[in-house]
């Protein structure tokens, strides 16, 4: 559906009718979405192969499986999430009671990226549906096959006044539609520059936003780390989807005593995972388009390229690549790489490592590899970051019990599981006061009541 076909006034009218609010309606819509995933399973897999060369196993593990898990969590817990929860009541307001109700926000605008174009469009939608909202979904035009399947799924499953898809060039259609209609929440996943633009547009009408952005995520290797395990988990987190993942380790910080040994472990792990020719491996993806391909190639100019570096523009293929001790002022170390190039930077002291991280503050993710509780405690407490792992990389995203989101330059707000439901609802506080008692203490004149106020208000 293109810009001229989207009728947001009808969507507003549908929401205002109250049709989306009751439990049975919300549950039915979640079940429809779940059923559509089964019906279109082959089409989804084919589209993701065309767009990003993902094999069926990767599609399930990183796209449809995560989405199904989110739907199942919502179906199991929806009634409990919707139920008003009791809050405490202070002494001044006894014998009243206090409650929190979860109100739908209204019409939600979800703007998705191209790197995980299916699940990053629809996981937020699960929370919007569970929260009782209407939604407009804008899939990325850079993953056109997936965008087409996604539109077909939504058109077949929901009426357009409830949920619609907006197609087109994001830089054109997003500003136009945000200028013409006030959404109740905008959810954007993508780059920092575009996120800033979305934020500015939303601010004109005081529209709340969630920004899921990126950043330079460090993986810190302490002296006591298990290098073989660290190498496997970093290689998996870095090179899945050919490095086009916002939670990928962007660079490694390793104690200088371990640097060369770690690099050998990384090389062997890459060979074990993808073979001598990753371009022929069904486990390894492709770069999304020629613009991104050309951008990533600019990072290959560092002098100490110690592994990989091969590429084929006709296949949009760039091999898993390791670069040792790049200049900290280089583009490789000042920009989010978002591709299959892994810088390995050595440090001598924690202060030195912290100074390197501080050059690109507020990473979306941080990973520390250590078997010492004091070491992990140090890094978790000393570095501001969105979320992360100890002795793992990237997999925190798959845990729906954890809120996922950034901090500072890496984003605003968090979602997944119950957190998505809470994101797309307003926690409306209500205090209920009985009429069977009505103390004169609460009413004027207040002269002479100070001692009671001091006793009650504390």
Q: What is the DSSP string of 351-365?
A: HHHHHHHHTS-S-SE
Residue with tokens 């910080």: 253
- The catalytic residue among 63, 246, 376, 422 is 246
Residue 306's contacts (CB-CB under 8 Å, 6 or more residues apart) are 263, 267, 322, 323, 324
How remote is the C-alpha of 72 from its chain's centroid? 19
Whether residue 12 contacts residue 68, with contact meaning beta carbons closer than 8 Å, is answered with: no
Two tokens, residue 138? 């804008």
Instruction: Return the CA Rg of the chain.
Output: 25
- Distance (Å) of CA 301 to CA 3, 216, 326: 42, 19, 10
Give every strand in the sheet of 341-347, ordered side by side.
Answer: 305-307, 321-324, 341-347, 251-255, 218-221, 365-369, 387-390
Is 246 noted as a catalytic residue in this protein? yes
Other Cβ atoms closer than 10 A to 343: 25
- The catalytic residue among 63, 70, 212, 265 is 212
Residue 148, classified by CB atoms within 10 Å of its CB into exposed (0-12), middle (13-18) or buried (19+), is middle
Nearest to 110 by CA among 195, 199, 185, 40: 185
| HSE-CB of 418 using CA atoms within 13 angstroms | 11
Is 70 noted as a catalytic residue in this protein? no
Residue numbers annotated as active site: 212, 246
């Amino acid at each position: 559906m293109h810009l001229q076909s989207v009728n947001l006034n009808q969507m507003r009218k549908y929401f205002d009718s109250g049709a989306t609010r009751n439990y049975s309606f919300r549950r039915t819509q979640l079940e429809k979405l779940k059923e559509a995933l089964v019906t279109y399973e082959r089409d989804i897999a084919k589209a993701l192969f065309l767009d990003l060369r993902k094999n069926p196993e990767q599609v399930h593990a990183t796209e449809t499986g995560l989405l199904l898990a989110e739907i199942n969590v919502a179906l199991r817990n929806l009634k409990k999430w919707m139920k008003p929860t009791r809050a405490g009541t202070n002494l001044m307001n006894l014998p009243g009671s206090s409650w929190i109700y979860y109100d739908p926000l209204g019409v939600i605008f979800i703007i998705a990226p191209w790197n995980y174009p299916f699940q990053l469009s629809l996981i937020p939608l699960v929370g919007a549906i569970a929260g009782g909202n209407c939604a407009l979904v804008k899939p990325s035009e850079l993953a056109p096959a997936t965008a087409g399947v996604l539109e077909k799924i939504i058109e077949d499953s929901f009426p357009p006044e409830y949920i619609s898809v907006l197609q087109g060039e994001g830089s054109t259609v997003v500003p136009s539609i945000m200028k013409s209609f006030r959404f109740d929440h905008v959810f954007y996943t993508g780059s920092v520059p575009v996120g800033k633009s979305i934020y500015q547009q939303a601010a004109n009408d005081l529209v709340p936003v969630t920004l899921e952005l990126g950043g330079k995520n460090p993986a810190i290797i302490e002296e006591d780390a298990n290098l073989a395990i660290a190498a496997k988990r970093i290689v998996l987190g870095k090179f899945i989807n050919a490095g086009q993942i916002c939670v990928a380790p962007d660079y490694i910080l390793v104690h200088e005593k371990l640097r060369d040994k770690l690099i050998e472990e990384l090389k062997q792990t890459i060979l074990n995972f993808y073979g001598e020719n990753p371009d022929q491996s069904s486990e390894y993806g492709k770069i999304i388009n020629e613009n991104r391909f050309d951008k990533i190639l600019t990072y290959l100019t560092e002098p100490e390229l110690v592994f990989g570096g091969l590429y084929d523009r006709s296949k949009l293929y760039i091999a898993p690549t390791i670069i040792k001790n790049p200049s900290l002022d280089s583009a490789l170390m000042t920009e989010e790489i978002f591709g299959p190039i892994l810088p390995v930077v050595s440090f001598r002291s924690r202060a030195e490592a912290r100074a390197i991280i501080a050059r690109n503050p507020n990473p979306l993710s941080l990973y520390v590899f250590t078997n010492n509780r004091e070491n992990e405690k140090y890094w978790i407490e000393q570095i501001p970051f969105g979320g992360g792992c100890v002795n793992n990389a990237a997999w925190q995203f798959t845990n729906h019990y954890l809120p996922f989101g950034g901090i500072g330059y890496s984003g605003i707000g968090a979602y997944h599981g119950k957190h998505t439901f809470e994101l797309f609802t307003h926690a409306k506080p209500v205090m209920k006061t009985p009429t069977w008692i009505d103390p004169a203490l609460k009413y004027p004149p207040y002269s002479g009541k100070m001692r009671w106020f001091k006793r009650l208000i504390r």
